Amino acid sequence: MTKEYRAKTFKSGNSVALRLPAGLGVEPGREMRVREEAGKFVVEPADETPRKIKGDWIGSMPWLKPLSAEDREFEERELDWEGKLLRRDG
């Protein structure tokens, strides 16, 4: 049997929002997809797409090594951007 919940819309900034009842078990921050079908709104969880780079590739490229402190040093140089001579000091 399908459970039915009632909810009210409310104004949130320039949008209209719908608060989902906790009984539905939707976790906060979950991205949802909303579409209109035949005059009715369908709300369903959006496909989860990874938002962060996974670190499982670390170690798979043994030729990559961290830079030493000496390799991170840069020589001071003058830069000419749009005819203005810029110098970065200390």
- Residue 31 maps to which CATH number? 2.10.260
Length of the chain: 90
* 27 within domain boundaries: yes
Task: Report the domain count for the chain.
Answer: 1
Q: How far is the first Cα of the chain from the last one, in angstroms, to the nearest whole number?
A: 71
pLDDT 10s per residue in the chain (90 long)?
A: 688 888 899 999 999 999 988 888 888 888 899 999 999 999 898 887 766 777 777 777 778 778 888 888 888 877 777 776 556 554
Of 35, 43, 32, residue with least CA distance to 7: 43
* 36 within domain boundaries: yes
Amino acid at 36: E
Give the residue numbers spanning the domain of 32.
9-45
Q: 70: helix, coil or strand?
A: helix
Angle (CA) 60 65 70, round 5°: 170
Q: Would you say 87 and 79 are in contact if contact means Cβ atoms under 8 Å apart? A: yes
Q: Would you say 8 and 20 are in contact if contact means Cβ atoms under 8 Å apart? A: no
